[in-house]
Structure 1
């Protein structure tokens, strides 16, 4: 099943979604399965994207008009595409200079793999900086580190909350003290467990 997402930067009527929605429909996306947002700055909430991510299930394909409609910057984009890859969700970009992607094809899967590698590289850099910071802190007699954000008790609350079809994942993540990306790492949009969540529950 294909699910579409469209976004424009202004809600004042000066930008419209028609071009994107027409392209998504032409690509075979049912109009009832197209989510959208009017969001400009990085701080603007994107309830349409939240609902879209919640609706996606393994084997589905997320379709966008252009790559920049999904992520607002490279780091944001790499993280989201890596999450899609980990969740076994396909990704298709319809337009863009050299940025057409379809992960149901061999070339598209190669691009997906490159994004996954970039995400892993970013995680390794963060991990190295964290370890270096902790080592420096210990050398000065201080202890540090961020507490684990997901344990069995928190995971059970997340599963129960996400199973509510009317729940908003960003609100759930905020109440649990984590990002939406972290929440979706462990739990699917319907409250079922992902591989990372299974690992915690089976400890």
Structure 2
């Protein structure tokens, strides 16, 4: 058997600590633990997960503590599993015990079920968040996220003759934000 690479993820640095996941992964045999900070709703921006998968050699193992540490989306979870198997490596999840090596259809079925559970959790979290925001708006205590760009900066660049795409690049914002600032 090859090396075991661990993967840990926390959603945010605020009040969450990756140390306990890292310690458990090391206890379970991970020689290196890759960690990402960010939600599990997307594979975008998960540089450490990408690095771990790239480093897998045939016979290696990618280890995670729980399916939701890898992804909260069925398709993403299965994509990760497929990529690991394509490297002729194994995806092992500690709790519940899932070993995905491409030979056991039941492991893929169980992984799919947990991916669906993750999607449901994500849906419920977003629904509770929306209800909380609506309740706060009714009380007048929620005003939305503070603006991160100055409409004056956007207008000044526009007066210099720059288009929306160039303004967005210079200010490191999306074009839609440029249009909103110009309309304000």
TM-score (norm 2): 0.52
**Is the 8 Å Cα contact of residues 36 and 49 (structure 2) preserved in structure 1?**
yes
Which blocks of at least 5 consecutive residues in structure 2 are unaligned? 114-184
Using the TM superposition, give the Cα deviation of residue 113 of structure 1 relative to its aligned residue in structure 2, in angstroms. Answer: 4.8
Q: Which residue of 1 aligns with 2:8?
A: 6
Largest Rg, 1 or 2: 2
SS in 1 for 2:104: helix
Q: Which runs of 4 or more aligned residues in structure 1 lie more than 6 Å from their structure 2 counterparts after TM superposition?
A: 115-118
SS in 2 for 1:76: helix
Using the TM superposition, give the Cα deviation of residue 16 of structure 1 relative to its aligned residue in structure 2, in angstroms. Answer: 0.6
Among residues 95, 106, 113, which one is paired with 1:111 in the alignment? 106
- The answer to whether the aligner puts 1:101 opposite 2:98 as a matched pair is yes
Count of equivalent residues:
110
Which blocks of at least 5 consecutive residues in structure 1 are unaligned? 119-203
Using the TM superposition, give the Cα deviation of residue 72 of structure 1 relative to its aligned residue in structure 2, in angstroms. Answer: 2.7
Q: Which residue of 2 aligns with 1:200?
A: none
Q: Which residue of 2 aligns with 1:189?
A: none
- The answer to whether the aligner puts 1:36 opposite 2:16 as a matched pair is no
**Is the 8 Å Cα contact of residues 74 and 112 (structure 2) preserved in structure 1?**
no
Query: In the TM superposition, what are the counterparts of 1:1-203 in structure 2 within 5 Å?
Result: 1-12=3-14, 14-30=15-31, 33-40=32-39, 41-42=41-42, 45-95=45-95, 99-103=96-100, 109-114=104-109
Q: Distance in 1 between matches of 2:92 and 2:69?
A: 12
- Cα root mean square deviation, aligned: 2.9
**Is the 8 Å Cα contact of residues 9 and 36 (structure 2) preserved in structure 1?**
yes
**Is the 8 Å Cα contact of residues 82 and 116 (structure 1) preserved in structure 2?**
no
